């Protein structure tokens, strides 16, 4: 039972030129269906759901330790014809649904949760897409595959699927490289999709809302964000029609 829950966290992308390892975590079955992790992953024992949350925390702590001093953007990283988009949005704006539609279109979806901002390059954190039931209607060609993926049940009884961003035609590959376009989504549910350019200062202000800064070295981290907004093309996308959004991404990747 615990192994089935922890499968929700599994992620194994191809990461060229990166040292990829595994985290060994021992677990123990206690009485009455409770579990615990062996030290050094200290904490109180709990149910499978509780242990899944602790597993999330272990992965987050590992990421923060490995990327000490770097700002981390809450963003999707999507590559269209060798052009990398960092897509940022408030919750409910459609970032994950757009990422899923991009996957169905054959684009490379590196991730849609955390992106580490380096001195000149960015690198997506290896985490699967977390897909809710309502997004399946937007990708009918992927629905059968998604329903076979590991899932948990949310508070109102609906499944959330852990979907590896690959298809029979594409593999899940994450590469370190520059961000070519910063795209800030705002919702326009039921309407058209349109884009407009942002100045570097406007993009910097919006980027700071979507970034976790390190506890120390904040000036250096902010300097990385400043450089990013001046090196990349910056736009706002009012996200409505997904078909039109895909058209915009293709056009931007060629410009």
The sign of the CA dihedral 88, 89, 93, 97 is: positive
Say if residues 82 and 95 touch (Cβ distance below 8 Å).
no
pLDDT given for residue 203 in this prediction: 97
pLDDT given for residue 98 in this prediction: 95
Distances from the Cα of 204 to the Cα of 48, 193, 195, 236, angstroms: 41, 23, 17, 12
Query: Among 11-25, 52-66, 239-253, which stretch is predicted with the lowest mean pLDDT?
Result: 11-25
pLDDT given for residue 231 in this prediction: 96
What's the average model confidence in pLDDT over 6-33? Answer: 84
Domain boundaries, the chain: 2-15+25-66, 72-254
What does the alpha-carbon distance between residue 49 and residue 193 come to, in Å, rounded to a whole number?
38
pLDDT at 137 over 80: yes
Q: Classify 233 in phi/psi space as left (phi over 0), alpha (psi -120 to 50) or beta.
A: beta
Q: Which residues pair with 161 in a beta bridge?
A: 131, 151
What's the average model confidence in pLDDT over 81-93? Answer: 93
Query: Among 13-22, 92-101, 110-119, 216-225, which stretch is predicted with the lowest mean pLDDT?
Result: 13-22
What mean pLDDT, rounded, does the chain reach? 92
What's the average model confidence in pLDDT over 57-74? Answer: 89
Q: Which CATH number fits domain 72-254: 3.40.390, 3.30.70, 2.30.30, 3.40.50?
A: 3.40.50
What's the average model confidence in pLDDT over 225-250? Answer: 96
Residue 40's pLDDT band (cuts 50, 70, 90): low
Say if residues 56 and 11 touch (Cβ distance below 8 Å).
no
Angle of helix 200-209 relative to helix 218-231, nearest 10 degrees? 130
| Each residue's pLDDT tens digit, 170-229 | 889 999 999 999 999 999 988 999 999 999 999 999 999 999 999 899 999 999 999 999
Token code pair at residue 161: 């699927």
Distances from the Cα of 106 to the Cα of 63, 80, 165, 172, angstroms: 28, 9, 10, 11
State the burial class of residue 21 (Cβ atoms within 10 Å of its Cβ: 0-12, 13-18, 19+): exposed
What does the alpha-carbon distance between residue 42 and residue 58 come to, in Å, rounded to a whole number?
10
pLDDT at 94 over 70: yes
| Each residue's pLDDT tens digit, 145-176 | 999 999 998 888 899 999 999 988 788 999 99
Name the residue among 113, 16, 115 with its Cα closest to residue 67: 115
How far does Cα 135 stand from its chain's mean position? 16
Residue 32's pLDDT band (cuts 50, 70, 90): confident
What does the alpha-carbon distance between residue 36 and residue 15 come to, in Å, rounded to a whole number?
31
């Amino acid at each position: 039972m615990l192994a089935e829950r922890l499968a929700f966290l599994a992620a194994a992308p191809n990461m060229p030129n990166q040292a990829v390892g595994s985290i060994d975590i021992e677990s123990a079955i206690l009485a009455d269906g409770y579990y615990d992790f062996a030290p050094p992953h200290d904490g109180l024992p709990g149910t499978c759901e509780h242990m899944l949350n602790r597993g999330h925390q272990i992965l987050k702590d590992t990421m923060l330790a490995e990327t000490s001093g770097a700002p981390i953007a809450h963003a999707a990283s999507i590559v269209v014809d060798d052009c990398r988009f960092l897509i940022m949005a408030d919750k409910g704006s459609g970032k994950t649904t757009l990422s899923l539609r991009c996957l169905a279109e054959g684009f490379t979806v590196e991730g849609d949760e955390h992106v580490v901002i380096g001195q000149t390059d960015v690198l997506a954190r290896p985490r699967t897409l977390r897909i809710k039931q309502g997004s399946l209607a937007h990708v009918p060609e992927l629905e059968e595959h998604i329903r076979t993926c590991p899932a948990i049940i949310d508070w109102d009884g609906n499944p959330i699927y852990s979907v590896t961003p690959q298809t029979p035609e594409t593999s899940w590959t994450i590469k370190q490289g520059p961000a070519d376009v910063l795209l800030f989504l705002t919702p326009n549910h039921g309407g058209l999709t349109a884009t407009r350019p942002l100045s570097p200062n406007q993009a910097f202000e919006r980027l700071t809302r979507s970034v976790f800064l390190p506890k120390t070295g904040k000036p250096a981290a902010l300097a990385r964000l400043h450089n990013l907004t001046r090196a990349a093309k910056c736009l706002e996308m009012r996200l409505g029609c997904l078909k039109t959004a895909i058209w915009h991404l293709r056009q931007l990747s060629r410009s």
